Amino acid sequence: MPSYKTEAINLRTKRFSEADKLLSVFTRERGKVSAIAKSACKPSSKYGGRLEVFGYNNLLLAAGKNLDIISQVETIESFHSIREKEGSLDAGLYIAKVLFYFLEERVPREALFELFLGCLRLLKEGFDPDSVARIFDLRLADIEGFLPVESFSSNLRHRIGGVKSGCDMPNFSKEEIRNIDLVLVPGISEHVGKDVSLWKNM
């Protein structure tokens, strides 16, 4: 089987067999890829915590017909600290879950990869988790072309302009968060085929 290297962020991981794990990873060059990490469930596994959700790694994979096989993992950046704070963990898991259902297998989406990585870094740096989740929603909708800017209040439209350009990463008020959710949750839910309001504290 041909091998390839790629940067990837772990979206989801679960036990595949008694010894192996099944991962869904978001790669920079190939989009979402499903892969097996053999012997990853064993106590003596060489992978350690690098296969957990939010892991940002350089991977060496062998391409398979349906599932690729992970043979090497090297950490690029650790986001373990996100898992230590409930609010940051909830926001990170929300973003990962939306992307898991939104992304098609093996379709490159580098802009969304950069968005995911940027949001993880904001959470790591201690930004307000509720605001980071809404920044993700706004940028996702903007990148995908379903951001109805005219539906937001005039004050919020100005702040959204900064988010779209990447110049502003605001802490939104509770009222602004309600406005963003009211406008965007239906559209995001339609695109992922799930009611995303159940995945965040609304």
Say which CATH number the domain at 58 has. Answer: 2.40.50.140
CA distance 81 to 63: 32
Tokens representing 200 are 């965040």
Give CA–CA dist 200/178, Å, rounded.
12
CB 69 within 8 A of CB 12: no
Confidence of residue 153 (pLDDT cuts 50, 70, 90): confident
pLDDT at 65: 84
> Phi and psi of 15, rounded to 5°?
-65, 135
Residue 155 has pLDDT above 90, yes or no: no
pLDDT interval class at 201 (50, 70, 90): low
Whether residue 119 is predicted with pLDDT greater than 60 in this model: the reply is: yes
Q: Identify whether residues 102 and 72 lie together within a single domain.
A: no
Residue that terminates a domain, selected from 48, 77, 106: 77
All residues at 6 or more sequence positions from 164 whose CB lies less than 8 Å from its CB, including other chains: 138, 139, 142, 147
Q: Are residues 70 and 91 in the same domain?
A: no
42 and 16 share a domain?
yes
* Residue 116 and residue 72 share a domain: no
Of 77, 94, 115, the domain-final residue: 77
Helices (H) and strands (E) in the chain, counts: 5, 5
Domain check: are 87 and 72 in the same one? no
Could you give the number of structural domains in the chain? 2
What is the domain extent for residue 16? 3-77
User: Would you say residue 202 has pLDDT above 60?
Assistant: no
> 183 and 97 in one domain?
yes
Helix intervals (H) in the chain: 86-102, 110-124, 129-144, 154-165, 174-192
Longest alpha-carbon distance in the chain: 57
Domain co-membership, 118 together with 160 = yes
Q: What share of residues in the chain are helix, strand, coil (percent, to 5)?
A: 45, 20, 35
> If you count them, how many residues does the chain have?
202
Domain end point (choices 56, 77, 98): 77
Residues 6+ apart with CB under 8 A from 132: 91, 95, 119, 122, 123
Q: Are residues 13 and 53 in the same domain?
A: yes
Angle between helices 154-165 and 174-192 (to 10 degrees): 60
Clarify whether residues 152 and 106 are in a common domain.
yes
Indicate if 71 and 85 belong to the same structural domain: no
Q: What is the mean pLDDT of residues 39-44?
A: 88
Asked if the model's pLDDT at residue 88 lies above 60, the reply is yes
Which pTM was predicted?
A: 0.94
- Do 64 and 19 share a domain, yes or no? yes
